Structure 1
């Protein structure tokens, strides 16, 4: 009889006696001036790579999943049944665990042979690029890299064309990139700027004509074009066993999507990623019958770690079309049990559902009564279900999400407490916020506890393998001694923390201190249950609701270059997906603008007319159009551009608190000063981008 796996105890459920009122414990003797004590989870003993029976590398995760799967289905996708118009099948085609195992061994063996013989490689690390939307082949490539000692480098579109191309390819010294056929022409255009690139592998088979054209183009650029199936065939003819892996071995370089300067290459080891997944196996109740939906980009760490959790549990992963407009159709066809999501998607679900409450007659009244009753029961009695209203009202909403959902997670950006409360009572599934983290800690740090009725608005407490502390930020008035709750910069420590920024020791030293703490740049507070709440940013870089980072001061400086602007404040809210601002117009240019729009001259000294014009929608639109010329000139991305503007002749001054003595904008004070008009701009709702199905 085979011995039981040492990982058989996973997943670990929430203890029956969990004390929701004390979700952290202090590590004795760690309180020091200028910071809180170190906090750990109160649920479980602290876990490290040296703890017995924990995952220490990615091969252990795959092997455990393979054992649990019993040969069942693993990776599924909706095949394309028509290209013109584009149409997907209403079913998934599945590859089994043994089939994927055979493919990863074949592909990994081929890559190892090419690196060993010098056809590929030559840089500091044996790096391999992947540029593709989520699909089974993305996972097959990554699994092969894990199994044969290669370093994956995921490329994604939001880095911008230049970054995806020249910078990332050259910085990571990529000699081979796996790409979808649609991306290959872009890579061949970049090839002259990327001297290391030798091979581009099409992840899907090409037509004979397409391959001939691309190969001829590749020859002129010194780049070979092959199909992934060719490499797998090469590997089957030269098969070698999977290579052992250690926790210290580098598994991937993830490039962050920062908006100032070039992206940073975050170096993550097998141990870091294994520990990230291991931490989430506490409370996430998955098994080999679970289907996880792959919708968020695999190039981002959040989705990647969620899929590692699924792999370790022997689960199934269903890949979507990748089209947000087909999300509801994808959900209806896959019927997932687990759906990692982000606030922007959740807000659309929420808005669509709440619209039902405005329906006339009995239908709208029933919905409003059901929501009010369940919210009252949640907030006052900790109850998530209602026998009558779940059957009459909320079963339909759950059905829109596939009807089988058991775990719904929100991560990557902040979300409103009201929205989270609605989701908790509305979709008949466990709803978890707090896959709060960053690429630098594998997106694995804190999470809310299962069925915590009062956790909305917080991101929970540390996973069993993480430590948390808050450090004073004197310049912003935050202190570990603040009452009623300690506040400060959030710092984390744990073995899912990244090793270093690739080829950038200076930024590494700025981010990881001498005691191994990762300084996140976020400001947090601990509430009366010792749950973490995000309240600010140390630096003026913030994350929008769709997960994109924006550097507010950088954007202000770009727009401030417009002759129409005397002063400008750019405002972002983590619960919103776009930026707004306050501008004090230059009187001369503003007078000229008003004259052109209205067809009659206005003098810069005519303060009454200028003031009145700041409230004229036509003038405001014309002013914003002038600002957009600056955005286009400096190639700001869509999410970096101002979508709405409040015009005022009231200058930012030291007297009204908007400026420091050195004439820098005080961000919190400026927001408070203009809170009314700024909140009114967001109250108008998201600017229209066309219709959606959500």
Structure 2
């Protein structure tokens, strides 16, 4: 393999052993079973690894050094240059910075920051924290690599964070210096009177002379210095020092979780934790110096950061996209990546667009339906992922849409339906892996095994340095003794677990117990193959008027499995006996439904017609009837079913406050946003003939 090296990490990455037992993906740690919980489980494919194990990554500087050694000065970070601003147009190629160029910039930036903290120009807080506020770009990664190499603590602000959250994070983590894209600098300067700790703002892109003079004068009036990145790098080259060795206990980052309620929590993550997250994924992930990875998800999110660090560890290339989801397919076509981490929301769109081909008239649609049916049947009966005829005739086209070279897609951060996963496995001609983690364990806990034909609907088994157990949740009727599968709150332990919530010992104590277990708040079961399946959430339980408890997220996940749904929010009121919902229909599937019900064609692009259709009682009834098929298939109880639904073409977004930056629904804010139509649904009273007591 091109990326192997002669260092102590040269054995990485490791392939799944040929004798791995897909039927038994966990092993019980002997003598760990206790009342009220399962035994402790570890993954069965590899020996257990800790920070003390020989030849493992213990800090982020080691990871960078390994990649630098393997890459031998080859291309590292790529960007699509802007060739026109009005209209905005990107080049159909990437400009690459080599590992050697990035290394020089990393050293210059790190040296400059070290000197600024040393002289007291910045700093003064408990930790040497440095902020980054930008969408994904090569500069974001270079700054972060500099922080890792010179003992600084990175704090990322989400590109979509609101003013209140940004103000909170700046003050809470005591950010005296912040690297930001020019578009964010005015927002930071407006916050400056409320953020006395802020002393320097560095523009991550060049400023034109007029812009610089206005921002500099504004900054001076507030006691904040405005610098350009080139100035900081020049200052660093004049004060160059060697990289500062890192330790596993050293804090690498404070990663603020957006949270679906309240202010963000600062998750304190060490070098050792992040290094071990990378170590874990280098079991099975077959990446090397020839690999090109696409950076699409926010780098402020731990999932993307760890995935990019995996690419760094093997000396791979990372290409940065335009950042516009509407241009994703174009970005894929230009970069032709081998590896891309995505989230279910994006994969659902790919699935829905692909499945629309099955509705095409005549031979074309018939061929697609036959190809899908054949491959799904083979997957589910014989475990076959490939088919010589159908792959060549049908599915190679789908792979070409992804750039034609895709070898690995990962998904995490939210549930994805088993049906969608099965289709992606057979339709995209690439390995598709689902994982489950959280910011508090560096997004690194369990993952499905490579080419596991029956894993869809599960999130796999623990990575080689994690332990898993399930804890009874008596209030919800979940027990480690449940048959046929033990059920309970998912708890994890391992080297990639976070240290604490910054300045919040109470929340830390609520999340990490005395034995070091992280309590996730999710409920899971272990299936026949000892794979984890997430089935519920300990919180987000509400009681209906008749006393029945409902897990709203679970209901949402089931209904969202319908191809008709682009987004769904389920709402319950304790004074009411039934559930209602807001749905944003998928335009392609919705156009097909409207055309069928109305008997005349409606195009997915005809937003006006689709918007009118959302107000048509006949269409709304047909839409809900289709959704109920999912509910019945999942055996939802009567009181768990949606009884009335409001359709809208207005999506839930971070901008309108309905979604967190990681695209999870903010329940309180979403209800407020849709309060009028939701209250109107309840005002209609319970639908006649519906039995919410079933």
- CA 1:360–1:486 in 2, change beyond 3 Å: closer, same or farther? same
- SS in structure 1 at match of 2:319: strand
* Map 1:510-589 → 2, pairs under 5 A: 510-540=510-540, 573-574=556-557, 576=560, 577-581=567-571
Q: Name the counterpart of 1:331.
A: 332
User: 2:43 touches 2:464 (CA, 8 Å); kept in 1?
Assistant: yes
Give 1:262 shift: 1.4
Give 1:161 shift: 1.9
Separation of aligned partners in 2, 1:447 and 1:569: 24
Separation of aligned partners in 2, 1:160 and 1:142: 23
Separation of aligned partners in 2, 1:478 and 1:624: 30
Q: Name the counterpart of 1:472.
A: 472
- CA 1:122–1:460 in 2, change beyond 3 Å: closer, same or farther? same
Separation of aligned partners in 2, 1:624 and 1:480: 36
Residue among 643, 658, 667 paired with 1:637: 658
Q: Name the counterpart of 1:86.
A: 88
* Map 1:316-327 → 2, pairs under 5 A: 316-327=317-328
User: 1:585 touches 1:649 (CA, 8 Å); kept in 2?
Assistant: no
Separation of aligned partners in 2, 1:382 and 1:151: 46
- SS in structure 1 at match of 2:488: strand
Separation of aligned partners in 1, 2:400 and 2:150: 42
Residue among 57, 60, 65 paired with 2:59: 57
- CA 1:354–1:470 in 2, change beyond 3 Å: closer, same or farther? same
Separation of aligned partners in 2, 1:469 and 1:378: 30
Q: Name the counterpart of 1:590.
A: none
Moved more, 462-471 or 638-647: 638-647
- SS in structure 2 at match of 1:578: strand
Q: Name the counterpart of 1:673.
A: 692
- SS in structure 2 at match of 1:226: strand
Q: Which deviations, in whole Å up to 9, do the C-alpha atoms of 1:233-289 show, x marking residues without a partner?
A: 110111000001000000000001113221110000000000001100000000000
1:117 aligns to 2:119 (yes or no) = yes
* Map 1:349-364 → 2, pairs under 5 A: 349-364=350-365
- SS in structure 2 at match of 1:673: coil
Q: Name the counterpart of 1:594.
A: none
Separation of aligned partners in 2, 1:7 and 1:175: 37
- SS in structure 1 at match of 2:131: strand
Q: Name the counterpart of 2:256.
A: 255
Q: Which deviations, in whole Å up to 9, do the C-alpha atoms of 1:452-510 show, x marking residues without a partner?
A: 00000000000000000000000000000000000000000001000000000000000
Give 1:584 shift: 9.8
Moved more, 468-477 or 258-267: 258-267
- SS in structure 1 at match of 2:489: strand
- SS in structure 2 at match of 1:174: coil
- CA 1:328–1:525 in 2, change beyond 3 Å: closer, same or farther? same
User: 2:556 touches 2:570 (CA, 8 Å); kept in 1?
Assistant: no
Separation of aligned partners in 2, 1:257 and 1:401: 30
Residue among 35, 38, 46 paired with 2:37: 35
Give 1:573 shift: 1.5
Q: Name the counterpart of 1:659.
A: none
User: 2:256 touches 2:267 (CA, 8 Å); kept in 1?
Assistant: yes
Q: Which deviations, in whole Å up to 9, do the C-alpha atoms of 1:30-59 show, x marking residues without a partner?
A: 000000000001011110000000000000
Separation of aligned partners in 2, 1:242 and 1:132: 25
- SS in structure 1 at match of 2:556: coil
1:292 aligns to 2:275 (yes or no) = no
1:389 aligns to 2:379 (yes or no) = no
What TM-score do you get using the length of structure 2 for normalisation? 0.82
Give 1:637 shift: 3.2
- SS in structure 2 at match of 1:213: helix
Q: Name the counterpart of 2:641.
A: none
- SS in structure 2 at match of 1:469: strand
**Residue ranges of structure 2 left out of the alignment (5+ in a row):** 545-549, 561-566, 577-614, 621-643, 660-664
- CA 1:81–1:522 in 2, change beyond 3 Å: closer, same or farther? same
User: 1:170 touches 1:196 (CA, 8 Å); kept in 2?
Assistant: yes
User: 2:252 touches 2:270 (CA, 8 Å); kept in 1?
Assistant: yes
Give 1:578 shift: 3.3
- CA 1:472–1:585 in 2, change beyond 3 Å: closer, same or farther? closer
Q: Name the counterpart of 1:451.
A: 451
User: 1:104 touches 1:140 (CA, 8 Å); kept in 2?
Assistant: yes
- CA 1:157–1:94 in 2, change beyond 3 Å: closer, same or farther? closer
Residue among 23, 26, 29 paired with 2:28: 26
- CA 1:617–1:416 in 2, change beyond 3 Å: closer, same or farther? closer
User: 2:5 touches 2:70 (CA, 8 Å); kept in 1?
Assistant: no
Separation of aligned partners in 2, 1:504 and 1:218: 32
- SS in structure 1 at match of 2:434: strand
1:105 aligns to 2:107 (yes or no) = yes
User: 2:536 touches 2:551 (CA, 8 Å); kept in 1?
Assistant: no
